[in-house]
Structure 1
Amino acid sequence: MSQGGRRELYGVVTLFALLILALYLMGRSLEDPSAGANIYGWILFINAIALFGFIVVVGRRAWVLWRSLQRGDDGAKLTSRLVIALSTLALLPVLIIYFFSLRFIQTGINRWYDVNVENALQNSLELSQRSAASTLGLLNQISATAAEDVALWELDPSAEQIDNLIVQLGALELSLIKDNGEIVFTSGGASIGDLQPQIPAREFLQDAVNTQQVAYLDSLPDKGLVATTLTLVPSLTADVPQVLVMMFPLDEATNALANEVENVYSQYKQLLFLRTPLRLSFVLTLSMALALSLLMAIWVSFLTARWLMLPIRQLAAGTRSVAEGNYSQRLAVNTNDELGFLVLSFNRMTSKLEQMQMQNDRHQLALETERAYLQAVFGQLSSGVIVLEPNFSVRTANQAAAELLGVELEELMAAVFNPSQPQSMIPESVLQPFADQHAFEVQWESQADARTRQMVCRATPLVQKLSTSWILVLDDISDIVRTQRDAAWGEAARRLAHEIKNPLTPIQLSAERLARKLDGKLEQSDALLLNKSTSTIVSQVDSLKSMVNAFAQYAASPQLDNRRLNLTEIAESVVTLYQGLERADVCLLDSAPAWILGDANRLRQMLINLIKNAVEALAEQSSMDQPPGHVSVSVTCDQQHVVLSVLDNGPGFDQSLIGRIYEPYVTTKSKGTGIGLAVVNKIADEHGAKLELGANPPQGARVDVIFAVSPNDETE
């Protein structure tokens, strides 16, 4: 150990001895609170010296470690972690002892000032005072009788009269004193005599003159506790008031008990006065002891970390050399413990690394070339590509495959597509054909982001000598399927409109002509039946015409007249048509001008369908005793998009139908045809807009149509 280390060790031993001394003194002070009040200053002084010394020692160690961290010395970071870990381990038991000691101090001091003891002392004192008050009352009666006797005496009574009265009453002393303090006579002799009596204070004399009688207890050095009574003497001849002062002794037992109660209560009040300073001094001393213990634990952790890190620093230096590419680095094995085994393993590792370096260099170029080629190919593919190992683990995959499956690329790379172990990433219908070892193609529906996607997987086996790998190609064919479905619905709508619309007008005209021909020619009951039947035919024909017109709109593909227009103005014109409805309040929220490219007529048709759907949904759920529903239309825009929103507080969308909501005949309304949203979706596609459906909390539906901002957006 160096000379500086020895000096530091001697200093720490001295500081530890001071800490033990402070704890010893604190224990003594707990045993005797009055003595503790005298020596707690020494306790604080000793702890302050020890605390300052430990701060210097630990601060020096911390400064050296910080400089090592700044320089990046080997083992500095690990040393700091060891110091923190060891200090933390030492902190927990020390804190437990600290809080236990605090509790012990609080309990000990509170035991000195037990509420029951204090109440007992107060009750004893009150009992003594009540007993004295009873005694004083009796003595007041005796004094009153004596004052009447004294009033009958001559102005200068004889000593014999006074002594007889003292003996008769059992008094220690008897004096007649004027209210100004002048003694008329006393039991010591005529007038004043040779012995001076105990003269009460002037205020007691005045109280006796004012209240006729006063009594109190007093403690005399040679007589102990005595009772003194002051009684106003009734006299018709005296020119000034005269007070008879009598002093009565108390019995020895009462005197001793009263003195003992008074002394004990006085000592208790003295201890009560010292309670808060003692508690504060003990808590402060214990806190300083805690700080000293923590500092000492930190100092010990510095020493322990330094001792443990001596061989590790050498290993760190060798590791840095290997990290820099020097695989010929070898370390000397000086110990036979775990650290020696670690050094030996390090030497074996460097030897193997040196042998593998050449082989790694040979394969690196080929690996980089293959990786660059695969990344270039996979990165340009819109289809998802997954290459499976013979055990169905993923060898490689591109980002498009992860996006189609709705997972992260890292999660996809860790997946295993074993047919015997189905998982949620790909349905079981895709995994089952793997067992046939033939190429196959499977389609399935995938739910993602509240929409249904049509997926297709084409799998091709790569047959090798002893195993078979697989290449999976994934595609999202939702747009293709939807286009085919829309085309089929459009063709069906055109044929349906053609086949149904032609006979509707003749049917309606025939029913009306039949009603006119037979009007007035039938009996009243038959006429009513005829009118009811023809009205039913006409109304149903009108309903069929409305449905046919809706299908015609869906099937129509007009040439768009795209122009730069203000979507807010179109919304205002459409909302005006629906204002004043009885069971629905349709309004346009404050919206700034928003310019897009589009066909004004088609956009009006789209907004009319959206508002009509909302109003019909509100009409189905409302009743006459409910307030009208609300439909709000808003147009918002930013630098890239214009959003047309229609919100209502109706029943909202059925989540079970959300994936097919754009198909004809898909509706939740009792009288709906399911064509409205299909037409809206078609118009949105014609304008390159995105249609989003959702909920309008707390109740209702929300439809957002997102357009691109016009390239020449200007404020008009």
Structure 2
Amino acid sequence: MSRPTRWIWSVALVAGIGAALVLAFVLSLSTAGGGFYERHFVWLFWLNAAVAALLLLVIGVAAVRLVLRQKRGKFGSRLLIKLAGIFALVGVLPGMVIYAVSYQFVSRSIDAWFDVKVAGALDAGLALGKSTLDALQADVGAKARLAADRVGDTHAPSPLTLERLREQIGARELTLLGHSGQVLATAGVAPGSSPPDRPPANLLRQARSLGWASQVEGLDEEALAVGDTAAPRVRAIVLLPDSSIRLTASDDRFLMVTQPLPRKLAVDALAVQAAHGEYQQRALARDSLSRMYIGTLTLALILAVFGAVLLAILLGNQLARPLLLLADGVRQVAAGDLQPKPVFASGDELGGLTRSFADMTAQLADAREQVQRGVAQLEGARTRLQTILDTLTAGVIVFDREGCIDTVNPGATRILGLPIAAWRGRHLGELPELETFARSVEQRYEQLADRSELGGDHWQDAFELARTDGATLTLLVRGAPLPGEQRLMVFDDITEVVSAQRSQAWAEVARRLAHEIKNPLTPIQLSAERLQHRLESKLEGNDQALLLRSVATIVAQVDAMQRLVNEFRDYARLPAAQMKPLDLNALANEVLALYGQAHDRGELVVQLAEALPRIMGDATQIRQVIHNLVQNALDAVAELADGRVEIGTARSVGENGELRSVRLFVQDNGPGFAEKVLKRAFEPYVTTKAKGTGLGLAVVKKIADEHHARLRVVNLHADERSDTPITGARVSLSFSVLAPVPSPETDAGPAPAPGDATQVH
């Protein structure tokens, strides 16, 4: 037996003893009679007070233990207190109701016992009994006097005379007594019966002094219990008259008449007398009686409360143990501990609940192991998939069922040039730059859903997209649905591929045109010059002038066609770049020397950065790039009064101060590029000039690709917003392939001659 169980049984034993004392006390109240209160009131009161104090002490100890358990933070203490409070409340509330009702009942009952009507009735009954007895005494005295008168002066009547007198007056017994009460003669006594008793001396004295006396005898419970000989009776004594002269009292004679009382009358008189006496005693002990009853009720209430609390502790412990076991197990499971849980050994529902919880915990442990293995596998697969996505050059975007961005790989951010990853959870169309593109993609998905019944599971299309930096992208986009109503979009930047395909196609066209056109140009020019040589001397006037104009026109157009063919040939047969360390500022100065007049007029402004690192490049091709860019810019501002062209170089450094590239830029304040031209500025034969071939920027693009440089063309706006008026254009070329920094030994050697690879073609 555990210590708490022993303590509970000890307390239960004390409670049982207290309940037995209270029951014994209540039983004694109903059987001991009225005098019990006065005799045992003190020790009963203190005994009940001691039992109540002991019970209150036990309840206080139990309450203190629960409070201390809660303060120590023991698990389940609140539940125990709550259960104890509920059970105690269930016991206390009915007990308090019963106590209140009983208190009122006892108080009102005791008050009813001592009501004025009850006291008056008892007094009236007692007076009625006395008056009845007095009447009987008077009647018996009258009979005795009558008999004495009839005896007359006879000093010693005969027994026969006494018997005749007894019958005449209707008495039970008639006795002649001597002066001291001795029986001289009697009548009415049954044969074999003992003679009548001597009357009391006081009765004789009263009769001698008053002439007659009477009294009621045998009116008590003991006399009634003896029998007929001591039955209640009325005895009357009369002094017999004597006309002779008596010298002493020894000559006195008395006549005694004895008349029995009805037994019922005697019993009723005794009962009324006893009730009246008890009522008087109870009236005197009224307050103590009330206190005793109320004390008994209070002690019973304390026992009921204690029993409720004890029952709460017992039942609460029995109920709380499996519940606390479950709660502790739930807390451990919530903390992630899925170790095997203990089971409450009982066959009831709570025991079954703990067993079910233990089984559930074991199943959860198995499920968690499986989930952990699955999560590990899924995490590995996700890591592999993320690694694949991160290393893909193509852009990948996954949309959720709401059409919002869910997954983005770095390729998508790199291709689009926008922080797509920062827009997770939002629609692609919320980016202003991708609004049109998002609508087109959504239409493709809707079309795929419409033809899904025909077996279509993906779509593919090409889109042109303008980036924020002014570049135009050609994207090859593929889309497909995923499980869970998700969507997958994969896209590649095929701008370079398309541009290369176009450049290759135009190069092939240029090569064929150069071949087909160049061959007849020389015979045409020679034939025209021969005609002029043969016919000029034979013609005069207008005919001669017409001949000269026609031949000059033919020769001029042949020269123009020759130049066009040479440009076609140069574009189609651009030689491979010979990479050498170059000083970009030096090359720019060499080319700008050809534009001295524009520089002097202020149309051309030079801003070259100092101590610019060398780049790896082909000097001839870089000169051609600078020449084409400057010439195009000057042509763009030729019709402007305040036309201005700026050429410069600069460094491009990263966030950590590391040199990333060397940039060459040419910008003007001309009308800029039209939107349709800006998207295809680097394609051959795209131009805004009336006499241009459209090969200038195409050649620049091919040279930039040869040098792995980045070429950008943008329009300049008044306040850097695309919706404000255009104030010019800028073409920039960023060289990321830099020449290695020479060692001190290399610096001590001869520097390359400025003329190396710097000849102007």
Shorter-normalised TM-score: what interval? 0.3 to 0.5
Structure whose CA Rg is larger: 2
TM-score (norm 1): 0.45
TM-score (norm 2): 0.43
